[in-house]
């Protein structure tokens, strides 16, 4: 298998050198070229567009990262851009702006001396370069499916077979009245969520709660950015006791967990601390809370992401009678989370990202739900 070719765009010569050394230490990554700012990067891409990933700094002279993304869109090159971002609040704002301009992902670096800075996130940088680079290579080349092991080695895996039954067949078995749709998602989540929300109308009849693996500070900016892009929906970062209502999309708070609860017919979320879960927010805890507190009258969706977070919780929701869905391998940036749920027998349907919202509308119609007469 050929290596993942990377273009590193950063105005700091030291940072370019360090990132090159870090990613170059992996046997399947090639730091092919560097650029000192966005303008130089664009010129290089026009001459040679054969890169699998772009690592992009934001604050650069002459042409910064945001300006680069605006111009990069005009080249129509399907090369994933990963932003190397500050962990601070200002970094979160700029990173979400970058995602809205087409960046696929980001790596956060804590503040401190540059050498320590980037070394702390070494594995994160390598992992994301591999995830997005291999995803691009899979689309462009005929290559086997691989997954990234904990030691960042690549392991070939066999494709997983699953045939979704007709919607009507599942509805006959599971006659539910959904009060909430829970979504668990990780790597590749921000662009996938954007793609989904673009297809959801303001008359959508069920409230949505999303557990997206994302650091503290970033989820508030993510929700703000989504709300700006999709004003017909009520999109917000979760606050304690926020109600789950049609047309509302609640994004779990980074660094904390969100659960779904019901008292006297009112469905609402709680923000909770629980160190027993590896990820914060946890998809497992979200689905478990829905299964326990709402029961069968719910829909759970597990989407792109590395690892197995969400599989156990989705299985619990599936077993109490809720309807459960996984994103398919082809449209997932990384298939770990959906695959774990499918292998656990936790899933009723496997749908592509493009099918997800149209099929949800069809599913809700089959369950007797009609769009609301007015959007929010």
pLDDT digits (tens, 9 = 90+) for 187-236: 999 999 999 999 999 999 999 999 999 988 899 999 999 999 999 999 99
Residues 219 and 359 in one domain: yes
Residues 132 and 27 in one domain: yes
What 3-state class would DSSP assign to 326? strand
Residues 151 and 177 in one domain: no
The residue with tokens 């304690």 is 240
Please indicate, yes or no, if residue 376 is contained in any of the structural domains: no
d(CA 36, CA 28): 24
Residues 70 and 215 in one domain: no
Burial 113-129 (b: 16+ CB within 10 A, else e): eeeebbeebbeebbbbb
pLDDT of the residue at 144: 67
d(CA 306, CA 40): 33
Residues annotated as part of the active site: 186, 213, 309
**Which residues, at least 6 apart from 75, have a Cβ–Cβ distance to it below 8 Å?**
42, 45, 46, 49
Identify the CATH number of the domain in which residue 185 sits: 3.40.50.180
Report the DSSP pairing between strands 146-148 and 154-156.
antiparallel
Residues 362 and 218 in one domain: yes
Residues 355 and 220 in one domain: yes
Answer whether 241's CB lies under 8 Å from 259's CB. Answer: no
pLDDT at position 89 over 70: no
Residue 109 pLDDT grade (very low, low, confident, very high; cuts 50, 70, 90): confident
Give me the number of domains the chain comprises: 2
d(CA 144, CA 100): 31
What's the whole-number average pLDDT of the chain? 92
Identify the CATH number of the domain in which residue 146 sits: 3.40.50.2300
The structure tokens listed for 364 are: 């809700």
Of 102, 134, 156, which closes a domain? 156
End-to-end CA distance of the chain: 50
pLDDT of the residue at 142: 64
Residues 190 and 325 in one domain: yes
d(CA 82, CA 109): 13
Residue 211 vs residues 95, 184, 255: alpha-carbon distances, Å = 19, 5, 11
Residues 99 and 221 in one domain: no
Residue 151 pLDDT grade (very low, low, confident, very high; cuts 50, 70, 90): confident
d(CA 356, CA 304): 13
Residue 374 pLDDT grade (very low, low, confident, very high; cuts 50, 70, 90): very low
Domain encompassing residue 243? 167-366
The structure tokens listed for 348 are: 């009723």
Of 156, 184, 203, which closes a domain? 156
Residue 231 vs residues 62, 118, 199: alpha-carbon distances, Å = 33, 37, 13
Q: Mean pLDDT across the stretch 4-24?
A: 95
pTM of the model: 0.91
d(CA 299, CA 4): 37
Question: In terms of Cα–Cα distance, which of 262, 240, 263 is closest to 252?
Answer: 240
Please indicate, yes or no, if residue 132 is contained in any of the structural domains: yes
Question: In terms of Cα–Cα distance, which of 281, 266, 275, 263 is closest to 212?
Answer: 281
Residues 151 and 207 in one domain: no
Question: In terms of Cα–Cα distance, which of 97, 82, 114, 152 is closest to 17?
Answer: 114
d(CA 338, CA 328): 7
Report the DSSP pairing between strands 208-212 and 248-251.
parallel
DSSP bridge pairs for 9: 35, 56
d(CA 203, CA 373): 7
Q: Mean pLDDT across the stretch 285-311?
A: 97
d(CA 135, CA 58): 24
Residues 33 and 174 in one domain: no
Please indicate, yes or no, if residue 125 is contained in any of the structural domains: yes
Residues 138 and 33 in one domain: yes
Of 122, 156, 190, which closes a domain? 156
């Amino acid at each position: 298998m050929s290596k993942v070719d990377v273009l590193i765009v950063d105005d700091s010569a030291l940072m370019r050198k360090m990132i090159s050394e870090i990613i170059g230490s992996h046997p399947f990554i090639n730091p092919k070229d560097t650029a000192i700012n966005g303008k130089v990067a664009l010129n290089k891409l026009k001459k040679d567009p054969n890169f699998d990933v772009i690592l992009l700094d934001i604050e650069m002279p002459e042409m910064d990262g945001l300006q680069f993304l605006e111009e990069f869109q005009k080249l129509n090159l399907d090369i994933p851009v990963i932003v190397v971002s500050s962990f601070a609040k200002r970094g979160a704002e700029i990173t979400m702006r970058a995602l809205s301009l087409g960046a696929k992902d980001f790596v956060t670096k804590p503040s401190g001396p540059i050498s320590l800075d980037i070394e702390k996130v070494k594995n994160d940088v390598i992992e994301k370069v591999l995830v997005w680079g291999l995803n691009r290579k899979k689309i462009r080349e005929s290559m086997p499916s691989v997954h990234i092991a904990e030691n960042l080695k690549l392991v070939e895996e066999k494709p997983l077979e699953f045939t979704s039954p007709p919607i009507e067949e599942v509805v006959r078995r599971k006659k539910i009245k959904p009060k909430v749709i829970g979504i668990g998602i990780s790597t590749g989540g921000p662009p996938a969520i954007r793609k989904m929300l673009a297809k959801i109308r303001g008359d959508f009849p069920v409230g949505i709660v999303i557990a997206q693996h994302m650091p503290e500070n970033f989820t508030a900016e993510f929700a703000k950015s989504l709300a700006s892009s999709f004003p017909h929906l009520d999109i917000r970062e979760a606050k304690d006791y926020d109600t789950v209502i049609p047309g509302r999309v609640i994004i779990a708070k980074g660094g904390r967990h969100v659960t779904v609860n019901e008292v006297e017919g009112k469905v609402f979320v709680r923000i909770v601390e629980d160190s027993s879960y590896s990820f914060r927010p946890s998809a497992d805890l979200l689905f478990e809370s829905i299964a326990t507190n709402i029961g069968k009258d719910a829909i759970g969706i597990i989407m792109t992401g590395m690892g197995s977070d969400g599989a156990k919780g989705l299985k619990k929701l599936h077993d109490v009678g809720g309807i459960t869905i996984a994103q398919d391998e082809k449209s997932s940036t990384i298939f770990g989370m959906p695959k774990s749920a499918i292998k656990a027998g936790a899933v009723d349907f496997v749908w592509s990202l493009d099918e997800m919202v149209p099929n949800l509308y069809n599913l809700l119609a089959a369950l007797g739900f009609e769009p609301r007469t007015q959007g929010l």
